[in-house]
Amino acid sequence: MMMRFFIALLLAAWPVALPVPAAAQSRLTLQDAIARARAGNPDARIAQVAEREAAARLEQARAWFFPRVDFTESWQRGDHPVFVFSSLLAQRQFTADRFAIEELNNPDALNNFRSAFLAQQLIFDGGSVRAGVRQARLGVEAAAISRTQVEQDLAVTATEAFGQILQAAAARRAAAGAVAAAEQDLARTRHRRDAGVVTDADVLALEAHLARRREAEVTATGHERVARTRLNQVMGEPLDARFELDDAATPVTTVNPAAFEQEALGNRPEVKLARIQEALAEAAVGGARARFLPQVAAQGGYEWNGGTFGSREGAWIVGTEVRLSLFHGFGDRARLDEARHTLARRALEREKAETSVRLDVQNAVSRLETAQAREAVGRAAEAQAREAQRIVRDRYEGGLAEVTALLQAAEAVQAAEAQAIAARVDVLLQAAALERAVGR
């Protein structure tokens, strides 16, 4: 009784789990999914903003090549002797009676309104600014490479989510086919029971088998819904968006490990970033060396001073400044040593990245070849299982096989279908992983 109650409950709930008709869905290819992920995923947008930040830092570094011009407007009042004396001179209002000792020591309070322009131009700094600009430019390149890396990672993630939907949808279709086959077997067995050829035990066994197949279809439908939600999240789409997946484009990759390795060394973001880090360290060495060279700058200014806001006198001044660091407690020397050691470390890290990329390519090639072999085996196993099921079904119809053999054949078909589906999806995923390993 408990078995019949379970079967009835499952049969009642089964139609609720059926998928939404494809007619209400938009068609989506794998390349469409990757393009949507690269455009709409939050990680992609973050990487794009980071690239613009790096470009702004480059403009900041370049600003040191241009003169700096400042304008100052100020007002001061006081009876400080030095302030009064210098303000009167700046206002061109100094008179002979101001030389009296009492007037010099105890002047009356004075207003000074001052407007001034000051221009400064760096002429030579030993290469420090150029080193900073080079570092900023390399930072822009690094940000662009990081964005590319994010896009490549999103391509793999979208492919994985796409493949999970294909696998779940194929499993659901296979389960639906198994349900239909089980229903036909159950109808034939009931007919044979009514004819007195088999007993109720065979009917009950096939009813339980049908319930398990419908349970598998419900489970596969749930997995498909979860996978679709995951793909929507990767693409930056609403989680409840519906797409009909186009699985017609199965990747066919010509495997050439040696060519792939060379391509990966030129394309992989990890190698590019390692090389940029090495170049940044080299620029830092140049910046540290610049501290031992003099800095030369030109200055010029024009100002107006007056006792009232509307009455002022102008004056100008120009000049140059040379600054040379003589001794900073050996800090400059230590900074140069640090930069050199950093450069050596970055070179080793670059070599490590190149070796790691070569290993990734070899592993990806091996996994793809294995997946392609498994796909061929899976197709053959599925065809063999279906043929075996046909033979067992004919024997069962002729009374030459037990119902257990019929159930075992159905289970074998289900397992073979699952293996073939997993193998086909794995080829898709491993091809995407190889593209990622090559840096495409």
Residue partners of 427: CB distance under 8 A and separation at least 6: 250, 251, 368, 371, 372, 375
**CB burial class (10 A; 0-12, 13-18, 19+) of residue 214?**
buried
**Ranges of the chain whose pLDDT falls below 70:** 1-25, 247-255
Q: Where are the alpha helices (DSSP H) in 99-236?
A: 101-105, 128-194, 200-235
Report pTM. 0.62
Count of other CB atoms within 10 angstroms of residue 41: 22
pLDDT of amino acid 118: 93
Phi/psi zone of residue 160: left (φ > 0), alpha (ψ -120 to 50 degrees), beta?
Answer: alpha
**Coil vs helix vs strand at 266:** helix
First to last CA, the chain: 60
CA distance readout (Å), 58 to 54, 61, 63, 65, 364: 6, 5, 9, 12, 37
pLDDT in tens, 144-197: 888 888 888 888 888 888 888 887 887 787 778 778 877 877 887 788 788 777
pLDDT of residue 162: 86
| Domains of the chain, earliest start first | 2-10+23-68+126-294+329-438 (1.20.1600.10)
- pLDDT single digits (tens) 401-424: 777 777 778 778 877 877 887 888
Q: Give me 410's structure tokens.
A: 């159905």
Both tokens of residue 269?
A: 């973001």
101, two tokens: 């000792």
Beta-strand relationship, 26-28 and 68-78: unpaired
pLDDT of residue 240: 84
Residue 247: predicted pLDDT: 64
Comparing CA positions, the residue from 298, 284, 263, 300 lying closest to residue 335 is 284
pLDDT for res 109: 93
